[in-house]
Amino acid sequence: MNIILAWRNLWRNKRRTLITVASVFFGVLLSTIISSMQEGSYSSMVDNVVKFYSGYIQVQNEEYWDNKTLNNSMEPSQVLLDQVTSVKEVTHVTSRLESFALASSHTITKGAMVSGVVPDKENEITQLKKWVVEGSFFSENDQGVLVGSELAKYLKMGVGDTLVLLGSGYHGVSAAGKFPIRGILNFPNPELNKQSVYMDLKVCQEFFSADNLVSSLIVMVKDQYDMPAVFKKLKAKISAPYAVLSWDEMQPELVQLIDSDRAGGQVMIAVLYILIGFGIFSTIMMLVAERTREMGVMVAIGMQKSKLAITMFLETVYIGIIGVLAGFAGSIPIIIYFYNNPISLQGGAAAAMTEMGIEPYMYFTLQPSVFYRQAIIVFAITSVVALYPLFMSAKLKVNQALKA
């Protein structure tokens, strides 16, 4: 009966109710869209970083992260590989051997990051093949290399030329070799273009005299939301002399960037919900003031104050529920559209994101947390606001209310 009575009371003044619902609607609409855009952009930033380089998770020698030398590389055992692949959420696993060498052409020399990879598996993770703008992708056991566009330009070399690499191999042995350039890579990240040299893993191991050794195992999952669970499982399975690192441990600068930007967005959303709270509160105040006499009559004829308070509480909750549902109904089609059609950035913003190695688009996400978070916040606001009619009905004096 209280539920029905509260619903009917809500629509006795339709204009007032609709105005209040509209304030909740626009607040939920804007906050949901902003949250979706923020979280979608953060996911894109993380995906760009992990797919270009680090992967979501890496398994390394426990001393490698603090001292990245070939001497701290590892020989992955079959037991280790089985432990990694036994986690069902793991989608891809590949090996890398990474070190530095001098890349030379005639009298020109520049430092380069040499990455030994398994071509097909690396392409599944980083889509390395799609960044080849000249020449062709290499295959397993291929003696050729792929070179970053800016590095090739600096060395004045192109496809078919021979690149000379000089460096220090495993346990300090000399590393020297000549490698034909199979293709030129052009990444969105300029830093990778300036220093990247990719070669087949076995060829790289031979070049550095590091037979069967790798710097790390790169572990991929579906997305960043699956990463924490997989990371926890791998940490439980894998122990010394190996270490398991997550992308946020390997990319603390990106985590700080996301956290600072998220804080700014939360301030904006908080302002929206403060406005929603005051909008609902003003409506409830008017509702209580206009119905003081009515409340007095209802109590006088036998209605308990507790039931009156519950009725008015339900009216407040109804306003919040209707506003949230309307906000979701309005925001979901917009978010779905932009989820399938990301907003392309232009000018300085696009250039800044490209410099950071991030695709210049504003992405949206359909993660459930974007929506249920808004519902929880609005419910909390309406619950706080609903304390006012509870308080007013509890202290109601019938004789004064009948004269209102």
Q: For residue 49, give the nearest of 147, 225, 192 by alpha carbon.
A: 192
For residue 228, being part of any structural domain is answered with no
Residue where one domain finishes, among candidates 177, 202, 223: 223
Residue 49 burial (C-beta neighbours within 10 Å; 0-12, 13-18, 19+): buried
Residue ranges of the alpha helices (H) in 341-403?
347-355, 368-385, 387-394, 398-402
Output 183 or 392, whichever has higher pLDDT. Answer: 183
Residue 357 pLDDT more than 70?
Answer: no
Q: Are strands 108-117 and 196-200 parallel, antiparallel or unpaired?
A: parallel
For residue 259, what is the enclosing H or E element?
A: helix 252-290
Kindly report the pTM of this predicted structure. 0.73
Q: Are residues 217 and 274 in the same domain?
A: no
Looking at residue 219, its pLDDT comes to 93
Least confident of 197-211, 214-228, 285-299: 285-299
Q: Are residues 277 and 376 in the same domain?
A: yes
Looking at residue 143, its pLDDT comes to 93
Looking at residue 258, its pLDDT comes to 82
Domain count of the chain?
A: 2
Q: If you average pLDDT over residues 119-125, what whole number do you get?
A: 90
Tally of CB atoms within 10 A around 291: 20
Residue where one domain finishes, among candidates 178, 206, 223: 223
Q: Are residues 86 and 125 in the same domain?
A: yes
Q: Are residues 161 and 300 in the same domain?
A: no
Q: Are residues 44 and 112 in the same domain?
A: no
For residue 243, being part of any structural domain is answered with no
Q: What is the mean pLDDT of the chain?
A: 86
Q: If you average pLDDT over residues 50-75, what whole number do you get?
A: 88
Q: Are residues 258 and 393 in the same domain?
A: yes
Q: Are residues 41 and 78 in the same domain?
A: no
Residue where one domain finishes, among candidates 170, 200, 223: 223
Highest mean pLDDT pick, 151-160, 181-190, 234-243, 279-288: 151-160
Looking at residue 403, its pLDDT comes to 64
Q: In this structure, what token pair is assigned to residue 317? A: 């909750």
Q: If you average pLDDT over residues 190-197, what whole number do you get?
A: 88
Residue 110 pLDDT more than 80?
Answer: yes
Domain boundaries, position 145: 57-223
Q: Are residues 215 and 69 in the same domain?
A: yes
For residue 238, being part of any structural domain is answered with no
**pLDDT, tens digit (0-9, with 9 covering 90-100), for 73-102:** 999 888 999 999 999 899 999 999 999 999
For residue 37, being part of any structural domain is answered with yes
Residue 366 pLDDT more than 60?
Answer: yes
Greatest CA span in the chain, whole angstroms?
103
Q: In this structure, what token pair is assigned to residue 315? A: 């009216």
Highest mean pLDDT pick, 17-31, 38-52, 149-163: 149-163
Looking at residue 404, its pLDDT comes to 57
Q: Are residues 148 and 275 in the same domain?
A: no
Q: If you average pLDDT over residues 159-185, what whole number do you get?
A: 93
Q: If you average pLDDT over residues 307-325, what whole number do you get?
A: 83
Confidence of residue 200 (pLDDT cuts 50, 70, 90): very high
Whether the CB-CB separation of 60 and 216 falls below 8 Å is answered with yes
Residue ranges of the alpha helices (H) in 50-177?
78-85, 119-126, 149-155
Q: Are residues 85 and 178 in the same domain?
A: yes
Q: If you average pLDDT over residues 182-210, what whole number do you get?
A: 91
Whose structure tokens read 């309005």?
Answer: 330
Q: Are residues 15 and 116 in the same domain?
A: no
For residue 237, being part of any structural domain is answered with no
Q: Are residues 175 and 298 in the same domain?
A: no
